[in-house]
Amino acid sequence: MRLRTPKATCKELGITIKTLEYWHEQGMIEAVITSNGVRRFDLDSIASKKNKKRLDRLPVALDPYRPNWVTPKDAREILGVSKNTLINWEEEGKILTKRDSRNHRWYDVNSLYFD
């Protein structure tokens, strides 16, 4: 499950907010309401046989098996979590991390899994 804010979803898919809302109304993409009432879209819900033709036109960035390395700030925004939650997930092995030559953390937001 790759949850994104509406803005981040539109940016990754290369669509407008109106298109995103239309896809949601048509059942092509699922939305999840977080505990604090914020709407997140599940990019993996697009990957169905029903959406095969549209999937062929989507950007390569949506490949769930390709790592999507982002900075901690971007990871927090995409996942809608706090800094402490992200660090806890790293310690629990729920999200892949790497460090660059300057010892900065990078998170693979496509690797996140829930128990």
- As a whole number of angstroms, the distance between CA 44 and CA 3 comes to 8
- For the chain, the structural domain boundaries read 3-62, 69-111
**pTM score over 0.85:** no
Q: Left if phi > 0, otherwise alpha if psi is -120 to 50, otherwise beta: which for 93?
A: left
Q: What is the pLDDT along the chain (115 residues), one digit of tens a residue?
A: 788 899 988 888 778 888 888 888 877 888 888 888 888 998 877 766 556 566 555 555 555 556 778 999 999 988 889 999 999 989 988 888 999 999 999 998 877 766 5
CATH of 3-62 given 1.10.1660.10, 3.20.20.70, 3.30.465.10, 3.10.580.10: 1.10.1660.10
